[in-house]
Structure 1
Amino acid sequence: MEITGIFSGLIIGIVIGALGRLVVPGRQRIPVWLTILIGVVAALIGTAIAARLGVSDTSGVDWVELGIQVALAALGVSLSVGMYSGRKRK
């Protein structure tokens, strides 16, 4: 993998994670690194699902693929908020 692929993956992860976090109502008390990680994972899984459904290669912006990725990121943020907020901080 080239360095540009890693950087573009991180940028996409940041954007997808931020959009997923915006979709979830309320305040999420999770760290930024977890949001980025959720975004990267959601982008990868969302791309695989879109390819499986046959909607990943369209002309212009792949809105269906983006919607799948953001929905997965929102689900990931919701799940992680529930698990992360259950931990007691000292």
Structure 2
Amino acid sequence: MLWTIIVTLVGGTIIGLIGKAVAPGDRTKFPLWLTVVCGIVGMLVGSLLYWVLFGHNNKPFDGHEATWDNATNGIDWLRHLWQIAVAAVAVIVAATLTGRRRA
């Protein structure tokens, strides 16, 4: 359980910062905790979207069936791109809702 929390926080921070960097416009005026929340949303929703659209019909590998959080052998780069895209959208929404955009 503790490992899941640590991975979620670290992954949320990384995905959130990348999402903030690729979001269009200048949306950098909100706190780090909100960036981490956007990254966690990006991780979860991006993984689920990827699973629904592409991953649910993957064949078994490494002795187990594909799941929403582990759909391929090795590093799943396409799933990470989906996570970053969703995090960028979350950053745009957060900046709009909080009104924290640089003028």
TM-score normalised over the length of structure 2: 0.74
1:73 paired residue among 82, 87, 95: 87
Q: Please state which structure has a larger fraction of its residues in helix.
A: 1
Aligned AA (2:89): L
1:39·1:73 contact (CA, 8 Å) conserved in 2? yes
Query: Residue 15 of structure 1 corresponds to which residue in structure 2?
Result: 14
What is the root-mean-square deviation in Å for CA atoms of aligned residues?
1.5
> How far apart are the structure 1 equivalents of 2:92 and 2:4?
28
Aligned AA (2:86): L
Segments of 5+ residues of structure 1 without an aligned counterpart are none
- Corresponding residue SS for 1:69: helix
Structure 1 runs (4+) greater than 6 angstroms displaced: none
1:29·1:85 contact (CA, 8 Å) conserved in 2? no
Which entry has the higher C-alpha Rg, 1 or 2? Answer: 2
* Count of residues paired in the alignment: 85
Q: Percent identity?
A: 31
How far residue 17 of structure 1 moved from its aligned partner, in angstroms, is: 0.3
- Corresponding residue SS for 1:70: helix
